[in-house]
């Protein structure tokens, strides 16, 4: 009974191009947020992580990852809402020939990563130490 919202992905697509020795990807996701018993109307920020992983037989390695927060508006009389997002310009160095087949694109919800990002201290503005006079 404490579930506020549940998210599902309906579709995902990617488009890749090689530009100046870099693989540049455009990744699109379409999904739905379903209101749970403890949820209600208003904006829900959906934390979505896109990760490209090199997964050869020996050891997997994260190539690039990005956390995106997608704002989804739930209407007062709605029990679900659809969302779409297209992430442009996700890029990484082009791997040597034959290794690109080992690359996998993962898309998932990442509330833990979003919470950790929220906990990082913000840099202080205007609190730089004053230089000591020389003389």
Categorize the per-residue pLDDT at 28 as very low, low, confident or very high, splitting at 50, 70 and 90.
Answer: very high
Torsion of CA 61, 86, 111, 124, to 10 degrees: 90
Categorize the per-residue pLDDT at 71 as very low, low, confident or very high, splitting at 50, 70 and 90.
Answer: very high
102 exposed, middle or buried (CB, 10 Å; 0-12, 13-18, 19+)? middle
pLDDT at 123: 65
68 exposed, middle or buried (CB, 10 Å; 0-12, 13-18, 19+)? middle
Give the residue-averaged pLDDT of 28-49: 96
3-class secondary-structure state, position 114: helix
Please report the domains of the chain, with CATH numbers, ordered by start residue.
5-117 (2.60.40)
- Taking the C-alpha atoms of residue 77 and residue 94, their distance in angstroms, rounded to an integer, is 48
Q: What are the pLDDT digits (tens) for 86-135?
A: 999 899 999 988 888 999 999 999 999 998 988 877 666 655 555 666 65
Looking at per-residue confidence, does 59 or 38 come out higher?
38
- Taking the C-alpha atoms of residue 103 and residue 112, their distance in angstroms, rounded to an integer, is 24
Whether the per-residue pLDDT at 6 is higher than 90: the answer is yes
For the chain, the distance separating the N- and C-terminal CA atoms, rounded to the nearest angstrom, is: 70
pLDDT at 109: 96
């Amino acid at each position: 009974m404490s579930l506020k919202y549940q998210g599902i992905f309906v579709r995902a697509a990617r488009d890749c191009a090689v530009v100046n020795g870099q693989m540049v990807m455009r990744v699109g996701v379409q999904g739905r947020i379903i209101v749970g018993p403890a949820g209600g109307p208003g904006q829900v920020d959906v934390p979505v992580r896109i990760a490209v992983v090199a997964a050869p037989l020996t050891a997997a390695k994260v190539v690039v990852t990005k956390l995106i927060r997608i704002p989804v508006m739930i209407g007062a009389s709605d029990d679900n809402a659809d969302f779409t997002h297209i992430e442009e310009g996700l890029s990484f160095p082009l791997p040597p020939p034959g290794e690109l087949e080992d690359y996998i694109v993962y898309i998932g919800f990442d509330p833990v990563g979003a919470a950790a990002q929220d906990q990082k201290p913000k840099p202080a503005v205007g609190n730089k130490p004053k230089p000591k006079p020389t003389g």
